[in-house]
Structure 1
Amino acid sequence: MTLTGVLHTHPDEPHAGNVSGRLNWLRAGVLGANDGIVSVAAIVVGVASAGAGTPAIITAGAAGLVGGAISMALGEYVSVSSQSDSQKALIEKERAELRDDPEGELEELVGLYQQQGLASATARSIAVELTAHDALRAHLITELNISEEDVVSAWHAAWVSAVAFTLGSVLPFAAIILLPLSVRIPVTFAAVIVALAVLGVVGARLGGGPVVRAVVRIVIGGAAALTATFAIGSLLGSSGIG
């Protein structure tokens, strides 16, 4: 990277844009879709393996879809709200310190740059220039590793999570009620595994992580959930409880 008036970046490095915000959206979307696929699939497979008819499967699946989407949205809202409140409090604290003691904050910034290995004169020159440009931003990034753009919307995260959950749950729900009785469970199981693998690939690509690890992790978890609910449903059905 060179500083010649134009910032030169590598195309595969996230220098531009709100990386923290993108990762939060990615997390909410992938988590919501994964939970939608696995939880609804587990419910309908468990009920179907107990010998229940299509009306009972539809009722259970619909309840799981609606309840799960609301639960995901509420959970995401509470989680992101806590994070957002903490970020806003830190930003306001830094803003107050800059207002009440600007000279002390400048010296603090100089010291932080020196701790990173800059010479005293260089650290002071950079601190003075960045303070003149945007003092709050300079302190937030250097001291707290955040920026005002990093404060995410709890409502947006909740909607992303709920929509992703709903979209993810459509596949197992549709498969279990539309397929013939003789193949509905194995085909639904296979469809869920494929969908989870695709989700793992998409999540890894968007997040820049290792694809194989992401796929294995998400597929094993989904397969374990389906196997467990299938076994429980079969046990309860054969015992006459289901």
Structure 2
Amino acid sequence: MFQPVKTKKIYEMIIEQIQEMILSGALKTGDKLPSERILAEQFNASRASIREAIRSLEILGVVESRQGGGNFISDYKSANWIEPISLMFKLGGGNFDEILEMRTVIEVEAARLAAIRITEDQKQNLIHLEQRLKAATSEEELSSLDQQFHIIVAEASHNVLIETMMRAIQAILKNFIGEARQSINTWAQDSGVLLTQHLKIAESILQGKSEEAALNMKAHFVMVVKSRSKA
């Protein structure tokens, strides 16, 4: 019934301490870690253990190593943990419909919160993106702006988990976005339908109409799902 107790390796204990310092706020995004020599002294550990711990934290996306500059606590927005999630999605046989389900759950609430919490700077970013969407002339440009639009909405929700999950989803979605847009345009027989929907979502957010923003975002995903079933 019980399993033998295993002694943790030194580098694992170092990792735990650094993670605990991040969670407690003692270490923040952008903070530079002490040199390898100082860390070895402070942890009373070998440099090899320090290097192994730092390397593991890099893989997790917690620490960023800058050539000639040292090791820093990563910005979660650029953390490379997104790549392992994308890989696990592919290895697990994930498909576009599963992404749609996840996005619907997250983005409907993101739109509602964005309408309540969006800042003036974020409003200006959203207005600027609206203008770029209207002026775009190629599908490639529209696809890129489409992805940016959904990230801006996630950021405006001011919920770190929502934004973090959206960035992970977007990384996975890169292989599907072109196919999805083509499917929608063909199904709707209207190349401007996506632009219209994005503008409706944006305007409801800018006007602070939270429930309307949520409904518009939900309608957007309902259309995406319908376009796939009829494609």
The answer, yes or no, to whether TM exceeds 0.5 is no
| Structure with the bigger percentage of helix | 1
Structure showing greater radius of gyration is 1
Q: TM-score, normalised by structure 2?
A: 0.21
Higher relative contact order (CA 8 A, sep 6+): 1
